[in-house]
């Protein structure tokens, strides 16, 4: 049963570095990107062939990077202070997320951002030439984080894929009628409180371990 639920969660969501500089794509080439959060690596593919990989920074445990598949929706040069020299925006429904450069190069290789993907400026400048609006970006990992660790507690004002999962399960249980958009708002809080009251859980409107356990999202 637990594995079945984990597969359902994934279904809801989707669910050797070359030394030489990669050449920008020809028009007929299909570009895609895969991100491995455990290795802090971004893999660039052309026609399903790996052509380059880059070391990146991802979100901190309290502000994780999204999990699942998204597409590029915009691209800008010198988008703003703190975002380095390039910005590649993604269609994440619960906030503004993207791949960008950084003025903190020492953070690369770590979980250090508010959820975006950070790259060295020279790397993101190269990547920028490959991607187009509509390019697919796949983030690996599990929406609840590392399965060996307890998921983060969620409260009003939080956002992320884990919030979206809570919304899905509250809706399936008949307690939530709002949009499953990954934003923990007042409607989500009220639905969770009603669920907690109905099932004899501490009524605090905070998705903690006891809520995850009762919803069957952890064991």
Q: What share of the chain is helix, strand, coil (3-state, %, to 5)?
A: 25, 25, 50
Query: Of these residues, 100, 110, 122, 180, which one is catalytic?
Result: 100
pTM, two decimals, is 0.79
- For residue 7, the model assigns a pLDDT of 44
Polymer length of the chain = 219
Query: Of these residues, 40, 110, 114, 116, which one is catalytic?
Result: 116
Whether residue 180 lies in the annotated active site:
no
pLDDT in tens, 149-179: 788 999 999 999 999 999 999 999 999 999 9
Look at domain 16-139 and name its CATH class: mainly beta
CA distances to 18, 27, 112, 154, 183 from 59, in Å: 26, 33, 5, 16, 17
Contact in structure between 55 and 91 (CB atoms under 8 Å): no
Whether residue 11 lies in the annotated active site:
no
- For residue 171, the model assigns a pLDDT of 93
Contact in structure between 176 and 170 (CB atoms under 8 Å): yes
The answer to whether residue 28 scores a pLDDT higher than 80 is no
The answer to whether residue 21 scores a pLDDT higher than 60 is no
- For residue 79, the model assigns a pLDDT of 84
Domain map (residue ranges) of the chain: 16-139, 161-215
> What DSSP designation does 67 have?
-
What whole-number distance in Å separates Cα of residue 117 and Cα of residue 214?
Answer: 33
């Amino acid at each position: 049963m637990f594995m079945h639920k984990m597969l359902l969660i994934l279904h809801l969501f989707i669910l050797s570095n070359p030394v030489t500089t990669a050449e920008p794509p020809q028009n007929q080439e299909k570009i895609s990107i895969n991100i491995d959060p455990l290795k802090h690596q971004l893999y660039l593919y052309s026609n399903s062939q790996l052509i380059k990989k880059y070391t990146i920074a991802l979100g901190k445990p309290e502000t994780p990077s999204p999990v699942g598949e998204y597409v590029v929706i915009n691209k800008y040069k010198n988008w703003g202070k703190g975002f380095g020299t390039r910005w590649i925006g993604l269609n994440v429904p619960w906030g503004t997320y993207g791949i960008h450069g950084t003025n903190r190069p020492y953070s690369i290789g770590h979980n250090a951002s508010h959820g975006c993907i950070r790259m060295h400026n020279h790397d993101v400048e190269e990547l920028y030439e490959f991607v187009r609006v509509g390019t697919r970006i796949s983030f690996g990992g599990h929406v609840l984080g590392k399965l060996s660790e307890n998921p983060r507690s969620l409260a009003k004002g939080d956002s992320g894929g884990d919030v979206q999962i809570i919304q899905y399960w509250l809706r399936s249980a008949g307690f939530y009628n709002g949009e499953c958009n990954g934003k923990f708002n007042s409607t989500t809080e009220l639905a969770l409180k009603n669920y907690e009251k109905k099932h004899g859980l501490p009524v605090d409107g905070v998705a903690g371990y006891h809520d995850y356990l009762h919803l069957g999202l952890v064991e």
